[in-house]
Amino acid sequence: MRITVSVDGTAYTDDVEPRLLLVHYLRDKLGKVGTVVGCDTSNCGACTVHVDGHSVKSCSMLAVQADGREVTTIEGLARDGKLHPVQQAFHDNHALQCGFCTPGMIMQAIDLLADHPDPDEETVRSGMEGNLCRCTGYQNIVRAVRDAAGRMRPGAGPEAERVEQRSAQLSGGE
């Protein structure tokens, strides 16, 4: 089956088998190896990417379901050599140990912050519960997500604008 999908801002058209998972399409066909294969059962969240701006566990989605859609991977976050605010917050707060879960954690955190721009600790823990860290780095992950929220507050740049737009949509605004 032929699909056309935009990944990290680049359009790709490929023939894929109907049963090919999105995670394997991204890694094996496009070389986006930052999207990690964890459990293949959608339990760990290591493979989390954004599809049309929302987090999705790419091991639970077929590549054909991404046809005509916009996919963002961890590789697509940095701009002009500068890390995304969530990536920078994870780095600055030492919110990684082995690093295996980090790409999925960051992608989930970005989606969480789009819905909850100023989360308390409980909201972060609840919003991140579908992503597992086997090294138990949760304290630093929570700290990093809350730090990133501050970095992305209104007036802090383009990511802050995305958060403001998403918040307005959720509250019934434009």
d(CA 117, CA 163): 7
**How are strands ordered across the β-sheet holding 2-7?**
10-15, 2-7, 70-72, 48-51, 54-57
Say if domain 2-76 classifies as CATH 3.10.20.30: yes
Q: Which run of H or E residues covers position 15?
A: strand 10-15
| CATH number at 85-170 | 1.10.150.120
Sequence ranges of the domains in the chain: 2-76, 85-170
Per-residue pLDDT of the chain (174 residues; tens, 9 = 90+): 999 999 999 999 999 999 999 999 999 999 999 999 988 788 999 999 999 999 999 999 999 999 999 999 999 999 999 999 999 999 999 998 898 999 999 999 999 999 999 999 999 999 999 999 988 879 999 999 999 999 998 766 555 555 445 544 544 554
d(CA 52, CA 49): 10
Question: DSSP class of residue 14?
Answer: E
Structure tokens at 12: 């790709």
Q: Which run of H or E residues covers position 112?
A: helix 102-115
d(CA 76, CA 34): 10
